[in-house]
């Protein structure tokens, strides 16, 4: 599998991002018009990646439309329906032998189980935020995610950071403190989303490119079925299911939860194989920007001065991190013979 070339964006450290992008990009199909490195393919990759982030950016609106379904029932159906959709994809793509081969490797099974638990936490907290008028805070989590990934590289991978990277981390920490002081509470939704997704990326790096996107999502969903079963049992015996009881439009929208989960991932998989890492790194901010605008302009969530200052500091930190990463990558390429 060929990797995209280009400067390393601010999504993570230079050594991590290529691995994560490659891990996620296991199912892309090369067009007959040329190799993955051709200009047309790189452009097509950018379109695919943008489509993925565009869909992720409007995901809160989809969840809001699913009221009165609660966050726990919604996540449970998302797990079950994602598994069903992935099973259909595996059948159409005739990829069951690949999945069976992965299931024969205990190490990969263990890592996909851990990835499943992390993505469950991420999904659950994100949906709680979306359904409790905290969409702006969910966007903050994904703005912080690149910085959390860099910090994770220091704490877990023992990588050494440059001065400007430490400056970016310091600015982001100051932003969180401003928000805490201004609101009088910890933005736990944002911090949990950033932590869970950055660790999820690290686990996906450990999994490696041997697990393609569809097989990975299939296994992660499969491991979460017991959790979904417990949730649905509790919901069914207490408040009752909303699927099929809130009108045909609601039933159709809720039944599409598996498609809504998998399609952006497949777009990203196709895009990550073709687009440069710089393109992927810059496009990653499309989703949190759209989530922020959705919460602020569409859902009319409050944006007091303290929150503007906090977000402003986060955006400054991301600019510092992005510029540093691009400049460093160019210097590395220039020094190569």
Q: Distance between CA atoms of 117 and 102, rounded to whole angstroms?
A: 18
Predicted pLDDT of residue 19: 34
Predicted pLDDT of residue 37: 66
Of residues 173 and 160, more confidently modeled: 173
Identify the CA nearest to 65 among candidates 127, 13, 146, 140: 127
Q: Write the pLDDT tens digit of every residue in 39-87.
A: 788 888 889 889 999 999 999 999 999 999 999 999 999 999 999 999 9
Q: Distance between CA atoms of 244 and 23, rounded to whole angstroms?
A: 37
Q: Is the pLDDT of residue 31 over 70?
A: no
Task: Answer whether 297's CB lies under 8 Å from 126's CB.
Answer: no
Query: Tokens 């009108």 correspond to what residue?
Result: 247
Q: Write the pLDDT tens digit of every residue in 174-190.
A: 988 888 888 788 899 99
Average pLDDT, rounded, for the chain: 83
Q: Distance between CA atoms of 283 and 43, rounded to whole angstroms?
A: 13
Q: Is the pLDDT of residue 234 over 90?
A: yes
Q: Is the pLDDT of residue 18 over 50?
A: no
Predicted pLDDT of residue 337: 66
Task: Answer whether 173's CB lies under 8 Å from 314's CB.
Answer: no
Q: Distance between CA atoms of 194 and 217, rounded to whole angstroms?
A: 20
Q: Compute the half-sphere exposure of residue 91: CA atoms within 13 Å on the CB side of its CA.
A: 6
Q: Write the pLDDT tens digit of every residue in 137-151.
A: 999 999 998 888 888
Predicted pLDDT of residue 323: 86
Confidence label for 35 from pLDDT (cuts 50, 70 and 90): low
Predicted pLDDT of residue 51: 93
Mean pLDDT over 234-260 rounds to 92
Please count the helices (runs of H) and the strands (runs of E) in the chain. 15, 0
Helix axes 188-207, 135-155, angle to 10 degrees: 50
Mean pLDDT over 204-218 rounds to 83
Q: What are phi and psi of 197, to 5 degrees?
A: -75, -35
């Amino acid at each position: 599998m060929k990797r995209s070339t280009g400067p390393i964006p601010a999504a993570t450290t230079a050594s991590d991002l290529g691995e994560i992008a490659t891990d996620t990009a296991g199912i892309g199909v090369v067009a007959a018009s040329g190799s993955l490195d051709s200009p047309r393919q790189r452009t097509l990759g950018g379109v695919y990646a943008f489509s993925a982030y565009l869909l992720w950016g409007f995901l809160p609106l989809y969840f809001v439309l699913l009221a009165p379904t609660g966050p726990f029932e919604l996540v449970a159906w998302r797990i079950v329906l994602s598994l069903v959709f992935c099973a259909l994809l595996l059948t159409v793509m005739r990829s069951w032998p690949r999945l069976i081969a992965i299931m024969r490797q205990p190490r990969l099974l263990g890592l996909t189980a851990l990835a499943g638990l992390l993505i469950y936490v991420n999904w659950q907290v994100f949906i709680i935020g979306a359904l409790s008028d905290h969409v702006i805070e969910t966007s903050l989590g994904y703005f912080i995610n690149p910085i959390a990934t860099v910090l994770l590289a220091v704490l877990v991978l023992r990588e050494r950071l440059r001065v400007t990277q430490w400056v970016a981390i310091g600015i982001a920490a100051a932003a969180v403190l401003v928000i805490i002081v201004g609101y009088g509470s910890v933005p736990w939704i944002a911090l949990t989303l950033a932590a869970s997704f950055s660790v999820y990326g690290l686990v996906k790096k450990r999994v490696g490119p041997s697990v393609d996107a569809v097989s990975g999502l299939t296994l992660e969903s499969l491991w979460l079925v017991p959790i979904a079963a417990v949730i649905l049992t509790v919901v069914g015996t207490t408040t009752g299911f909303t699927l099929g009881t809130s009108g045909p439009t609601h039933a159709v929208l809720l039944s599409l939860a598996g498609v809504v989960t998998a399609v952006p991932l497949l777009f990203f998989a196709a895009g990550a194989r073709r687009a440069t890492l710089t393109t992927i790194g810059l496009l990653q901010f499309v989703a949190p920007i759209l989530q922020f605008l959705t919460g602020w302009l569409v859902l009319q969530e409050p944006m007091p001065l303290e929150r503007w200052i906090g977000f402003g500091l986060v955006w400054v930190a991301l600019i510092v991190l992005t510029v540093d990463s691009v400049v460093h990558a160019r210097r590395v390429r220039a020094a190569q013979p």
